[in-house]
Amino acid sequence: MKREISLLQATSINMIDMVGIGPFVTMSIVISTVGSNLFIWAWVFGAVTALIDGMIWSELGAAYPLAGGSYNFLKEAYGRKGGRLMSFLFVWQTCLQSSMVVASGAIGFAQYFNYLLPLGYWWEKAVSGSLVIVITALLYRNIRTIGKMAVFLWAGVIIIILWIIISGFTHPHVGYSCLPSGGQSMFSQAFGLLLGQASVKTIYSFLGYYNVCHLGGEIKDPGRNIPRSIFISIFCIAALYLAMNLSVVGVIPWQEAMGSKFVVSLFMERIYGSHTAQIATLLILWIAFASLFAVVLGYSRVPYAAAADGNFFPVFAKLHPRKDFPYVSLLFVGGLGLLFSLLLKLTEAISAILAMRILVQFVAQSVGVVLLRKRNGTAGLPFKMWLYPLPVVLSVAIWLFVLYSTGLAALLGLFLTACGVIVYYSFRGNFDRAKLKIS
């Protein structure tokens, strides 16, 4: 695989991954979950979580810039005994949750399409499934072409969001304050529980700042460009999300916004009329399309990296004979995403996505940074996280809090992890023979 993705392309891929249909369909869900004007703090919490966790991804991504991202981080951090199991479990859960991410984006796309043309249940499923097929077909090509496509899609995403933000701040506003009033408290147990439940949705909307790590083997000057692309993505998207929320509730009172499934379209309709709102909805669907493009691209590299290392089923290690991309892995992620898009509901997918990833990926990676620093020191690190070990401690605490907030979905995550352990030990001999063959 060739290093042909520039800093601009890497940042574009990250940002269009982060800004999918998520913030548009979760905005009203977050407001209704918190049930007060304090909903904006759930978005702040999501941004802080992304920034803290981004430091961990930046240090690991710069130090181990290979295809597969977390697969390599976990393998290196947990050594010979635990590394292969942990990295396998990451690939195992990625094969499931990455397809759920794809499905959630496609389902959200189909649901938002209802603003333009009311769809029945099966027509929604037809739209979501067709979208996954189109995205997979577009990605069936070499990385140089994909990098250029990503920049084009990213430019459209930024222009659309800026239009939404500027529209809200340049038109008559209703009163909105994000500060407690009338006996409200930001330090009560009740608010903490509501914040946790709402933050499951906001953190979902921030996910993707690490996508560049999955493409580590294709990034130019990775020691510098991987951390830069992560932090640029987080700061820019956090600013855009907060501004967009404040813009929308400045035109539509939060009490009204919490009951709308198409709150941004309603916002544009309130300002410009129904015709412009329909155009804005089409542009929001552009954003959802662009995000799915980046999601499938990044995740398609994970099973490939594990199989090429002899720690997953060998068929995933195949590269296209002429275009040098992992086509089997791509078709698998797209195919399973198609299946889940037909079977799941959006809210179920969001909670399951986070619950499946927290322990094996986010928490294990945070602990892995500590293990790697103790074993190897910090002299050769291209990037060192700031204020170490504070980001590690905060990251673990936040992710465990979010896991608790996912409720029953946490049990699903634990169950699938246990299934992964059984599969690993059942097929370990096959993986060992594959690894010897590769060597």
| pLDDT tens digits along 344-384 | 776 666 677 777 788 888 999 999 999 999 999 999 899 99
Please, which pLDDT band fits residue 233 given cuts at 50, 70 and 90?
very high
407 domain-assigned: yes
* Number of Cβ within a 10 Å radius of residue 109: 26
| Dihedral of alpha carbons 94, 99, 105, 107, sign | negative
Q: Which residues contact 405 (CB under 8 A, 6 or more apart)?
A: 193, 196, 197, 199, 200
Rounded to 10°, the helix 189-206/346-357 angle is: 90
Q: How far is CA 320 from the centre of its chain?
A: 26
Long-range contacts of 394-398 (CB under 8 A, 24+ apart): 394/52, 395/49, 395/52, 395/53, 395/56, 395/362, 395/363, 395/366, 396/363, 396/366, 396/367, 398/49, 398/52, 398/53
Instruction: Count how many residues are written for the chain.
Output: 439
Query: Domain containing 427: what range?
Result: 7-438
What's the CA gap between 6 and 392, in Å, rounded?
A: 29
The CA–CA distances, whole Å, from 148 to 8, 209, 410, 435 equal 10, 19, 38, 35
Q: Is-contact 351 322, C-beta < 8 A?
A: no
pTM: 0.83
DSSP state letter for 403: H
1 domain-assigned: no
Q: Is the pLDDT of residue 218 over 70?
A: yes
What's the CA gap between 324 and 330, in Å, rounded?
A: 12
338 domain-assigned: yes
- The predicted-structure confidence for 266-275, as pLDDT tens digits, reads as follows 999 999 999 9
Q: Is the pLDDT of residue 439 over 60?
A: no
Please, which pLDDT band fits residue 60 given cuts at 50, 70 and 90?
very high
Q: Is the pLDDT of residue 436 over 70?
A: no
97 domain-assigned: yes
Structurally, the chain folds into a number of domains equal to 1
* Number of Cβ within a 10 Å radius of residue 110: 24
What's the CA gap between 50 and 242, in Å, rounded?
A: 14
What's the CA gap between 310 and 300, in Å, rounded?
A: 17
2 domain-assigned: no
Q: Is-contact 62 306, C-beta < 8 A?
A: no
Give the rounded percent of residues in the chain with a pLDDT score beyond 90. 38
What's the CA gap between 285 and 109, in Å, rounded?
A: 6
What's the CA gap between 30 and 201, in Å, rounded?
A: 7
Q: Is the pLDDT of residue 322 over 70?
A: yes
What's the CA gap between 59 and 308, in Å, rounded?
A: 24
414 domain-assigned: yes
What's the CA gap between 124 and 305, in Å, rounded?
A: 34
Token pair, residue 241, equals 């999300």
Average pLDDT over residues 304-324: 84
Token pair, residue 317, equals 């290690």
- The CA-based angle 359-363-364, given to 5 degrees, is 85
What's the CA gap between 228 and 383, in Å, rounded?
A: 10
State the average pLDDT for the chain: 87
Residue 143 confidence (pLDDT): 67
Which CATH number do you get for residue 135?
1.20.1740.10
Average pLDDT over residues 146-162: 83
Residue 162 confidence (pLDDT): 92
- The predicted-structure confidence for 244-258, as pLDDT tens digits, reads as follows 999 999 999 999 999
